[in-house]
Structure 1
């Protein structure tokens, strides 16, 4: 039985993202609910036990993901914190739903196929501990000091594997032998991101992201047997679960070499990174652009600590000479290296969510854009405003979910 069903639960948790639910018609913006998502671990263990769990030498089911749904103001009040940002660590107490009033929460522990089971909770208490950019803090009491010491030990263990940093040259060497794709397949994986480069014979050349919906959005996945793909290289845009959960859920992905941005990690993401690094399958790109074969990879220059805006963006040249731009969840204005020519095709950033800045224009004034999104997802993606922005720039829009009478399914970019 999952430890989440044992009753009241206490987690040490890293905030990995906070996203307002899309509501383009909302009058009072402060009333908008925000999904606060955490990469977490059971707090009822010693530091040694926690570190063994993160390294996959102990019971991995003590790892969990958590979503709390409330307003930004309510979260700040409960946590007694002014500035909420990614990379903060918290101690969180959860109670079974119905035990008391409070913000709703949902958690899932790590199973054989990833984070699938979802357990409903109510938030009992949340205590801010520290941010990764803080200097070491002196404890203000024995209980708080012990919690902080455990969390700091966990945070230290969650650093990106050092032996996999600075691998831009290795990534360049690996990709230099790649053939130009015939097309890019944007796979229908529900509320997630997973694209594959395909040659004219249908063979997979490399993957862009490796996503599969985690428990919160499991209902958006196609009701078909799990995919099985080739163990070709995976280029990961950033370390969000809807972009990397396929490591656990899709056969074949764990066997490839992963080219990834060097970013701060939570306990569950570090387990993935550590396993790949141990098997010499992790190539971390810190800052250098990587140009090789048909690919150009660059680190987006967003605000430090923001996973979405500091990941890898990818420009791919097809056999036809046309180009595809893949931004992950980053704003188009952050594309690196700078575009030498406007793209013919794009995968919409952030599943069609709102973004800052302008949308990139298509070459020749028109092009095709695919939105990888799951119908009924918990964020309200895609945003009507973002879709209109893309259309207004000249992009012809298509969606992997059912929309406007068109059935769900994978979409192709190219040739």
Structure 2
């Protein structure tokens, strides 16, 4: 199997060797956290489809996966990381024994259709139902607007060196945080890309989350000062581990789910209109106006053509989408024909980011490129956009 064709499939997982009651208690953080795990499976798309018996793998599908210790049998490599006090940090190398497709969220009906339906599907359906976005946090655009309306225009945007993850902060002239754009930290299998954990000057600063991928929200567990923040987030489907985070934030009235555009203070938040169910393409993008009047565009992992609301003027600075990975469509152009772009990426990450094609596309469009990782003889480190 040519290495270049391999794809990393990632799963927000829960140990299926328990009752539905225990599983729901785990998701609600009333039982052993280590039963929650992030799983990475490395194989080709074609081989995954063959093993799982599916046409196309996509967000929102549920699988039963059986793993064995590495060396027990040949098969695709896997890595599992259980949830600990500081997040998904430890890693266990494994091999795939079996993967079975169960159902997709949105299937109708989701209830058992006969006596032949296995207990594993019944359990998975109960978990899927419990993983819905907290209803109490839906429709909070007005609350988010009121919260952000008091924010001052930032002096600059700090693109933090957090390895293979995304964590940016809007700061004033003294370096005090005003709000965060994502709050990521590397998952265990990209732990080698991590730097020292950032120290925040202020706690309880609002977090605008682009979407519910762990490399964008793992700081909730890993970085002190973020648990007490109010999180403004897209209403999306959640896995078991993400649901635990959402539920704890919602219980403390710190989760604001938005599904429409929000303009407040120096911020314009837009819900990207990508394919329904695709986390990367249906999250929030952010346009921020600095004190200088210049603007910064932050897309999370979404394609530039999905920016919402539509740009009233071209940006002066951007954080490259998806850590410099390939994307569909064209690059947004810089105002005046030139601007500065930062790629938040960790050297040696397991995805091969950044893509040379994407880097060339940005630079060819007029963007001056910099990277949070070591590259072209420049040491790794935090980068700045502005003033």
Q: Give 1:141 deviation, angstroms.
A: 6.0
Structure 1 residue 81, shift from structure 2 partner: 1.3
User: Map of 1:23-42 to 2, 5 A cutoff?
Assistant: 32-42=5-15
Aligned partner of 2:369 in structure 1 is: 397
Please give the alpha-carbon distance, in whole angstroms, between the structure 1 residues aligned to 2:97 and 2:73.
8
Structure 2 stretches lacking a partner, 5+ long: none
Partners of 1:262 and 1:285 within 8 A in 2: yes
Q: Taking structure 1 as reference, are residues 284 and 268 closer, same or farther at Cα in structure 2, changes over 3 Å only?
A: same
| Residue 54 of structure 2, aligned match among 81, 86, 103 | 81
| Equivalent runs, 1:7-406 vs 2, <5 Å | 32-135=5-108, 136=110, 138=112, 142=116, 144-222=117-195, 224=196, 227-230=199-202, 231-286=204-259, 288-406=260-378
- Give the conservation status (yes or no) of the 8 Å contact 2:111–2:125: no
SS, match of residue 254 in structure 1: coil
Q: Is contact 2:167-2:183 (8 Å) kept?
A: yes
Aligned residue for 1:219, secondary structure, equals helix
Judge conservation of contact 1:229–1:252 (CA < 8 Å) in 2: no
Q: How many residue pairs were aligned?
A: 385
Name the Cα RMSD after superposition. Answer: 1.4
Deviation at 1:80, TM superposition (A): 1.2
Whether the aligned pair in 2 keeps the contact of 1:139 and 1:148 (CA below 8 Å) is: no
Query: How many angstroms apart in 2 are the aligned matches of 1:138 and 1:275?
Result: 30
Say whether the 8 Å CA contact 1:374–1:401 is kept in structure 2.
yes
Shift of 1:228: 3.9
Q: Which of 375, 380, 384 is 1:408 aligned to?
A: 380
Gaps of 5+ in 1: 1-27
Contact 2:281 2:301 survives alignment (8 Å): yes
Range with greater deviation from structure 2 (269-278 or 73-82): 73-82
TM-score normalized by the length of structure 1 = 0.91
| Structure 1 SS opposite 2:64 | strand
Displacement of 1:83 in angstroms is 2.1
Between the aligned partners of 1:84 and 1:41, the Cα distance in structure 2 is: 19
Counterparts of 2:57 and 2:307 in 1: how far apart (Å)? 26
SS of residue in 2 equivalent to 1:48: helix
SS at match of 1:154: helix
Distance 1:376 1:194 in 2: 18
The farther-off stretch of 339-348 and 78-87 is: 78-87
